[in-house]
Amino acid sequence: MKPYTDVSAVKGRGNILLLLDAAVPSCAMTTEKTQPPAQEPPDATTVLCINRHNGTLNALFLDWSVRPIGLKELWTLKWNLAFDTAGPWTKAGGVKPEQWPQWMRGLKDY
């Protein structure tokens, strides 16, 4: 059997994204070092981190659950097998509030 053929056997399915209500495919965050947008995007045509619902996006996960996720939470989700969910843009990875772009500083930290 190939890895991930049986999605019901995958561990952590509730943290693995399938789809976001963003402008780009949910595979767009390829590394935990991906920088947040320096300014709030004026349109939602080319970015993943967009403020659609008061600091959140809606997400569909591999366990078929749907829930809102915070914009800073994007860096804590499992985007691929090697993605470090405690990377440099997470509280666990040591990011400081002042390191976030100004437009994101008031958003919930993860």
Q: What percent of the chain has pLDDT over 70?
A: 86
Check pLDDT > 70 for residue 23: no
Strands 17-20 and 66-70: unpaired
On whether residue 46 sits in a domain, the answer given is yes
Whole-prediction pTM: 0.84
Determine the Cα–Cα distance for residues 10 and 89; give it in Å rounded to an integer.
25
- Three-class SS state of 99: helix
Tokens, residue 27: 């595979």
On whether residue 70 sits in a domain, the answer given is yes
Per the CB < 8 A criterion, the answer to whether 14 and 66 are in contact is no
Which structural domain, as residue segments, surrounds residue 13? 1-105
Per DSSP, what are the bridge partners of residue 71? none
Residue 79 is predicted with a pLDDT of 85
Number of domains in the chain: 1
